[in-house]
């Protein structure tokens, strides 16, 4: 069984992430999409909410497992016998950061964890969770960015956090 992990914040999942998930799911027997709990970032959605959103958005993909993890990616991979991490690249600006993480993970895992990069579908190259959150916070149209069931969840989050 070839398994890979696609780690990220997914705060919330966008069509850009989903495109990467669908393509990676075709390449592996099992794809773990894992919400990594990052202490440096204050998320908009709780971990459980991000997991539930991802589960609903990937319900049509039989070989996708949605998970969450608090800790280092290399430890998650060691615990789950995973040797490949998937990451998406949107533009050259992603490259330096992604390269640094990939090389750190290779070093820390003593070569046990490799990172495979998939380039974004051009129509999603502008898309990031942070842009979606910002547009939604002003009530802007995000229907081209996230699955339709996520749109009201975003507006609701901003309504409840602004009172």
Catalytic residues: 17, 41, 90, 129
CB-CB contact of 113 with 83 (8 Å): yes
CB-CB contact of 17 with 130 (8 Å): no
Which residue is listed with tokens 């989050």? 157
The only residue of 21, 87, 105, 146 in contact with ligand ADP, by rule CB under 6 A: 87
> Which strands, in side-by-side order, build the sheet including 84-89?
64-69, 30-36, 3-8, 84-89, 114-119
The distance of closest approach from Cβ of residue 14 to ligand ADP in the complex, given in angstroms and rounded to an integer, is: 6
49: contact with ligand ADP by CB under 6 A: no
Name the residue with the smallest CB distance to ligand ADP.
16
Chain-centre distance for alpha carbon 113: 18
The distance of closest approach from Cβ of residue 4 to ligand ADP in the complex, given in angstroms and rounded to an integer, is: 13
50: contact with ligand ADP by CB under 6 A: no
The strand pairing partners of 33, in sequence order, are: 6, 66
Count of positions on this chain that bind ligand ADP (CB under 6 A):
17
The only residue of 16, 58, 69, 146 in contact with ligand ADP, by rule CB under 6 A: 16
Q: Using CA of residue 59, residue 62, residue 64, residue 66, what is the dihedral sign?
A: positive
76: contact with ligand ADP by CB under 6 A: no
The only residue of 22, 128, 137, 155 in contact with ligand ADP, by rule CB under 6 A: 128
Residues that bind ligand ADP (CB under 6 A): 8-10, 14, 16-17, 20, 87-88, 90, 94, 120, 124, 127-130
């Amino acid at each position: 069984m070839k398994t890979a992990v696609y780690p990220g914040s997914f705060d919330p999942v966008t069509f850009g992430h989903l495109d990467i998930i669908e393509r990676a799911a075709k390449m592996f027997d099992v794809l773990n999409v894992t919400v990594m709990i990052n202490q440096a970032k204050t998320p908009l959605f709780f971990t459980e909410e991000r997991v539930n959103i991802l589960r609903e958005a990937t319900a049509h993909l039989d070989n996708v497992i949605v998970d969450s993890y608090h800790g280092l990616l290399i430890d998650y991979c060691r615990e789950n016998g995973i040797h490949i991490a998937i990451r998406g690249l949107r533009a050259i600006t992603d490259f330096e950061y992604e390269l640094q993480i990939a090389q750190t993970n290779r070093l820390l895992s003593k070569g046990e964890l490799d990172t495979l990069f998939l380039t974004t579908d051009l129509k999603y190259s502008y898309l990031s969770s942070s842009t979606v959150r910002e547009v939604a916070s002003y009530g802007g149209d995000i229907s081209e960015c996230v699955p339709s069931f996520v749109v009201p969840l975003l507006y609701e989050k901003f309504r409840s956090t602004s009172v």
